[in-house]
Structure 1
Amino acid sequence: MTNLSRRRLLASGGAAAAAGATLPLWTWAPSASIAGTGDGLDPEYVWDVRADPVIERLYGEGIAKVAEVNEILKGWTRNDQPLPDGLPTYLEDFIEEARALPAWADQGKLKLAGSFNEERYGFFLALLYTLGSGLISCAIKREAWSVYYSYGGSDMRDRIAKTTVLGYDVMDAQGWTATGSLMVNSVKTRMVHAAVRHLLPQSPHWASVGAGQEIPISQADILVTFHSLGTWVMRKFTEWDIAPSTELADAFLHAWNVDLHLLGVQEQYLPKDWAAAYAQYDQVMGPATGGTREGVELAQALLDSVIGEGNPVLRHELESLGRYVIGDAYADMIAFDKDPVLAPVWATSVPLLVTSYQSTVPNIPLVSNLLPEAVHTFIKIYFSPGDPAPITLPLSNRPE
């Protein structure tokens, strides 16, 4: 971890002081959801009533049992694959229920959503999910705290990679097929969320940083993560004047809604269209974001994972580009550098790239002329072929 400068820590302190501020009343109506109805409960106080007791029961059998389940589930990687033998019956029953697509899932829309990874959208989706959403996650207060003090905080690159790749795979048509792995990984992620809800309140740090939230990762927190990925990216596409067709945009949202269902989010919170999604984004993102010491450290850890702890010039350049991509508000929250010289460079070159880019990611001569090599390294690390670390249940919180 790079030594944090005094300036960075001071920059994060002012916003952190307001981290415990009272959240505004929940006003987003369930009539705007795909369900069209609901009890209207604030998702801030709703968790996963199905997964949480199952995972709590598993941990009640001891950490050795959790480790055994991790080993068994390492062999479960494909959507069409039967569950391995040896799981507790109650856990097997939960997974079989959780892995099923909802009746309203539209295979045609899921396949269409996969075209986002093709042609001009592929590179920009990768860029925005990594350099954009990956950094914004560090400005989401509770996400930063949950990540930092849970086991995931001890390996930031791996943790961000899993979250970012999950978002990217939602747009991969193969991920939804029988031989894909998106449904498997989503269910495993849902189980990890339940595990964090069980473990993190046991951390001596959580009471002082949870902003009054006794149990982490509420339904609202998952929605915030979605909006930092899917909704924010769609807004950037519109801002950069490369908004997809209405049909493709609807498929994009549908794919996200199906995945949110697999992650355990109730249908009354899933936006029925982009207008509803933007309204929900506007309600939840402001209160959820802010500067924290942990978020600043995680943002630097994310850069460390890409360019190492040296390379001050590359770090400064990447921070400046990151500031352009995510905007000053989020960049200030994670104490990223400001550069009056580079800022107009990005303001000129990135729009030129957006309007000129016609090829797919493997053919990037124009990109190479306009963006620093660190960006390509960013994307290569998170989206390169190979066997990523499996999604496993944590055995502890972050080591002290």
Structure 2
Amino acid sequence: MSNAMTRRHLLSTAAAAGATALVGAGPATASARVAPNREPLRTVAEVDPKERAHLERLKQLADPPCDEAVADVFRRGQGAAVNEALKGWETNGQAVPDGLPAKLRDFLESSFQLPSWADPEQMAAGHRFARANAQQISFAAVLDVTPERMRYPASAAAIFGIEGPHDNKQGFAKALRAVGDMLRPDPYGPDGAGFVTPVRVRMAHSAVRYLLHTEGNWDTAKWGAPLSQLDMLAEGNLFTSYLIDHLYKLNVDPSEQEAEDYFHECRVGGHLLGMSDDGMPMTLTAARERAKAVDTLHARVTPQSATYVKATIEHFASMAGPKDMTVPPATALVRYMLGDADADEFGLERSMWDAVVPTAVWGFFAATQFGGLPTPSATMTQLAIKMVRYAMNDGQEIDLAMPLHLYGHH
């Protein structure tokens, strides 16, 4: 994908959004909507002691079965060989590749099953909702959820260790890869990637943990386990309850049942990613309450994470043109999705675009739904995702391989 083509695609999307705004569609309905209250509690003392103890236990836990299999790979010095063997292993119908260490092979073969509590009908309904709103969900995942991940210092510290303290373009691209894979028509069928992609992400997480312990200076007393169950819970909250509660900004107003169905499908995905069943609550209402406790106890923006988010926005914006022209509207996009409070925490600058972007964005998505523009299908969304993934990864396809060294050891 050439840089010129990527710029044309992004600029045409921006032009369509701007045109929609000019013909009069506006966020009057969106501004009248009020998202469920996700504000953290005022003080740590307000968090129930049992909940606080439970979250502290999650902070000390990682993903033992995957961690053991991946540590065995590294101790054997077979990390590069395993990455090579797994190249091209992308769909559920493909056999686990030959030539893998026995412990890893056994782990991979055991991962191709849904949890006992998974409800096929609810999963199917959740998947229909996701595909029907694929563009909006992808938009929110990139411009809202991904920056918000940097509000959790322990998780951010692990990301810095692997990618360096500069920008999160790899994180954006990998998140897009996962979102795109889950938007396939039948993610758990032979042509889908609903089992393969999560287990490969789990392996990458386990490799990060191993490297932070062996090459880094990970402070377990301070942070707990690297990419712990608590970190996975925080990120799971962002991709489920947080994302659902921000879709109204993109003219999507899911019913209570649609939201629960989507949450259930995502919870199944979280289980396959290695989340413990007692981490993510069973219902969306309970997940919102747990998210408040997590934010109260563990969310804060550090100077490093603020720099990281701003650098990523600059990188993304520079694909569309000169930074002085593209960074302000790109920053306004992120500010609109995050809200002023979180955007101010990250130190995102305000500009004249703050008054324009909400109307343009809401109007664009309103037009696609009401017939003013062609309704984007999940297939077209996957194509757009692939284009951006290539751009974010310097023209290369995103590989879900295990990292073999920390950033400073590359």
What TM-score do the two structures reach when normalised by structure 1?
0.77
Residues 306-336 of structure 1 show CA distances to partners (whole Å, capped at 9, x for unaligned) of: 2328422210121122112101232123221
Say yes or no: does 1:53 pair with 2:60.
Answer: no
Distance 1:158 1:41, change over 3 A: closer
User: Is the CA contact 2:161–2:216 (under 8 Å) kept in the aligned structure 1?
Assistant: no
Q: Which of 172, 176, 200 pairs up with 1:188?
A: 200
User: Is the CA contact 1:122–1:360 (under 8 Å) kept in the aligned structure 2?
Assistant: no
Q: Which of 115, 118, 124 pairs up with 2:136?
A: 124
Distance 1:188 1:22, change over 3 A: farther
- For 1:265, the equivalent position in structure 2 comes to 275
Residues 168-197 of structure 1 show CA distances to partners (whole Å, capped at 9, x for unaligned) of: 544544322221112101001111111111
Distance 1:40 1:233, change over 3 A: closer
Distance 1:379 1:99, change over 3 A: closer
What is the rounded CA distance, in whole Å, between the counterparts of 2:208 and 2:358 in structure 1?
40
- For 2:7, the equivalent position in structure 1 comes to none
Say yes or no: does 1:291 pair with 2:301.
Answer: yes
In the TM superposition, what are the counterparts of 1:60-209 in structure 2 within 5 Å?
A: 60-62=75-77, 65-119=78-132, 121-151=133-163, 156-167=168-179, 169-204=181-216, 206-207=218-219
**Range with bigger deviation, 166-175 or 306-315:** 166-175
Residue type of the partner of 1:249?
A: A
Distance 1:300 1:361, change over 3 A: farther
**3-state SS of paired residue (1:399):** helix
Say yes or no: does 1:219 pair with 2:235.
Answer: no
What is the rounded CA distance, in whole Å, between the counterparts of 2:48 and 2:182 in structure 1?
31
- For 1:11, the equivalent position in structure 2 comes to none
- For 1:16, the equivalent position in structure 2 comes to none
User: Is the CA contact 1:113–1:171 (under 8 Å) kept in the aligned structure 2?
Assistant: no
Say yes or no: does 1:337 pair with 2:344.
Answer: no
What is the rounded CA distance, in whole Å, between the counterparts of 2:372 and 2:399 in structure 1?
26
Shift in Å, 1:219? 0.3
Shift in Å, 1:354? 5.0
Shift in Å, 1:264? 1.3
What is the rounded CA distance, in whole Å, between the counterparts of 1:80 and 1:144 in structure 2?
34
Residue type of the partner of 2:106?
A: D
Aligned pairs, how many? 355
- For 1:235, the equivalent position in structure 2 comes to 245
Among all aligned residue pairs of Structure 1 and Structure 2, give the percentage whose two residues are the same amino acid: 24
- For 2:337, the equivalent position in structure 1 comes to 325
**Range with bigger deviation, 241-250 or 267-276:** 241-250
Shift in Å, 1:253? 1.1
Residues 338-392 of structure 1 show CA distances to partners (whole Å, capped at 9, x for unaligned) of: 23x3333334444444544416998379xxxxxxxxxx988950499x9832211
- Root mean square deviation, CA, Å: 3.4
What is the rounded CA distance, in whole Å, between the counterparts of 1:71 and 1:141 in structure 2?
32
What is the rounded CA distance, in whole Å, between the counterparts of 1:139 and 1:379 in structure 2?
27
Residues 88-111 of structure 1 show CA distances to partners (whole Å, capped at 9, x for unaligned) of: 111111111123222332333333
What is the rounded CA distance, in whole Å, between the counterparts of 2:174 and 2:206 in structure 1?
16
User: Is the CA contact 1:240–1:354 (under 8 Å) kept in the aligned structure 2?
Assistant: yes
User: Is the CA contact 1:169–1:175 (under 8 Å) kept in the aligned structure 2?
Assistant: yes
- For 1:358, the equivalent position in structure 2 comes to 369
- For 1:18, the equivalent position in structure 2 comes to none
* Structure 1, unpaired ranges of 5+: 1-20, 31-38, 366-375
What is the rounded CA distance, in whole Å, between the counterparts of 2:306 and 2:140 in structure 1?
19
In the TM superposition, what are the counterparts of 1:5-16 in structure 2 within 5 Å?
A: none
What is the rounded CA distance, in whole Å, between the counterparts of 2:372 and 2:312 in structure 1?
22
User: Is the CA contact 2:314–2:323 (under 8 Å) kept in the aligned structure 1?
Assistant: no
* Structure 2, unpaired ranges of 5+: 1-43, 377-382
Distance 1:305 1:239, change over 3 A: closer
Distance 1:142 1:80, change over 3 A: same
User: Is the CA contact 2:207–2:402 (under 8 Å) kept in the aligned structure 1?
Assistant: yes
